[in-house]
Amino acid sequence: MALRFIDSFDAYGPVGTDIDDLGTRMSGKWDTLVEDPTTYGFSLVDGVESGQALEMEWGNTHIIGKVFDPQPQWIIGFYWKISTFSGSYRLIRIWDGDDIQVQVSWKSNSTLELFADGVSQGTTSTLNTDQWYLIELDATFKTDATGTCKLWVDEVLEVNASSVVTSGSGNNYAQEIRIYGDGLSPTMAIDDMYMADGTAGINAPVGFMKIETSYPTSDSTPSDWTVSTGSDHYALVSDTTRDTTDYVYTDVNAEEDMFNFTAPTEDTIHGIQLSVEAASSGSEIKEFKSIIRHGGNDSTTSANLMAGPNTPTTILTLSDYQVGTSNAWTGATIAAADFGCEKVS
């Protein structure tokens, strides 16, 4: 495993999506979601190329974060822009429990500064306001002076710290990654984010990239679930804006509903992530799993759906390689794969 999480921010809705709806959608994918209740909070704006980006508006503290299993290395990349450099505020923090291992901050002199175990490792060149930059961070965590942390801006290695202590916790690992929108005056936006654990697959920053959101384009087999209307299953789950008025459903264990996606045209595909939103319609908790199937092999993720239709659960299944192999995904193999879900119990 290497690629652990991706987000294009496109599937949460269009620009102008209601903040409460946006929070509901984001809480399904992000483990930490904090906004200052006295300020505007999060919103969707135009992205770096197309689609949407997440804007953290004027306020004191806005945080999004992911919690994983402990890993000795984390690699993070995303596009970032800011309206004003004022003061010095945190942008990225990698945590082990309550201890900060590595941090990136932005400064009033229009640079980014990299810290390891609370010690500055250097700053980047001067950046411009209202301009998108690709920010990438690669850190390995060590309690002795053998750790590394490196910061790239637009594929240029700006800060290169090696043979340094990168653990403030006493452990050679970290498990939580947080992105912060701090400060009283700036507005900042992020887009097309990836997180990787540095093992087989992505074990170095990938450089300029984009994360695309796709929706089912046809039904595959089996199509066991029942449709709320019409006959095309995929048409009921391909909403670009959250819509609970039409759906597929089942109360039969082991029934699957599978879908096809159109082949992407990119030459290099680092991985794919299936995102499925589901809910239990009654008073019982149901077990559900999402499926990526290719070449007779399945990659699955299971989750319990809380009781009640107003408590949807988002299930993420991520695959670095063609399922069951060490071969990279291609457009053709994605088009040949099946994606869907199964009611377990």
Per-residue pLDDT of the chain (345 residues; tens, 9 = 90+): 689 999 999 998 899 888 878 888 888 899 998 876 555 578 999 999 888 999 987 666 789 999 999 999 999 999 999 999 988 899 999 999 999 999 999 999 999 999 999 999 999 999 999 999 999 999 999 999 999 999 999 999 999 999 999 999 999 999 999 999 887 667 899 999 999 999 988 889 999 999 999 999 999 999 999 999 999 999 999 987 777 889 999 999 999 999 999 999 888 999 999 999 898 888 888 999 999 999 999 999 998 887 777 778 889 999 999 999 999 999 999 999 999 999 999
pLDDT at 104: 98
Residue 235, SS3?
helix
pLDDT at 244: 82
pLDDT at 77: 98
Pseudo-torsion of CA 344, 316, 29, 302, nearest 10°? 30
pLDDT at 60: 65
- The answer to whether the beta carbons of residues 301 and 16 sit under 8 Å apart is no
User: Is pTM, for the whole model, over 0.85?
Assistant: yes
Cα–Cα separations (whole angstroms), residue 304 to 12, 140, 278, 288? 22, 34, 10, 6
Parallel, antiparallel or unpaired: strands 338-343 and 286-294: antiparallel
Provide the CA 188 distance to its chain's centre, in angstroms.
Answer: 17
Distance CA 123, CA 140 (A): 19
pLDDT at 59: 63
Where do the domains of the chain lie, and which CATH numbers do they carry?
A: 3-196 (2.60.120.200), 218-343 (2.60.120)
Biggest CA-to-CA distance, the chain: 63
Distance CA 53, CA 141 (A): 30
Phi-psi category of 310—alpha, beta or left, where left has phi over 0 and alpha has psi -120 to 50?
alpha
Distance CA 247, CA 25 (A): 17
pLDDT at 1: 64
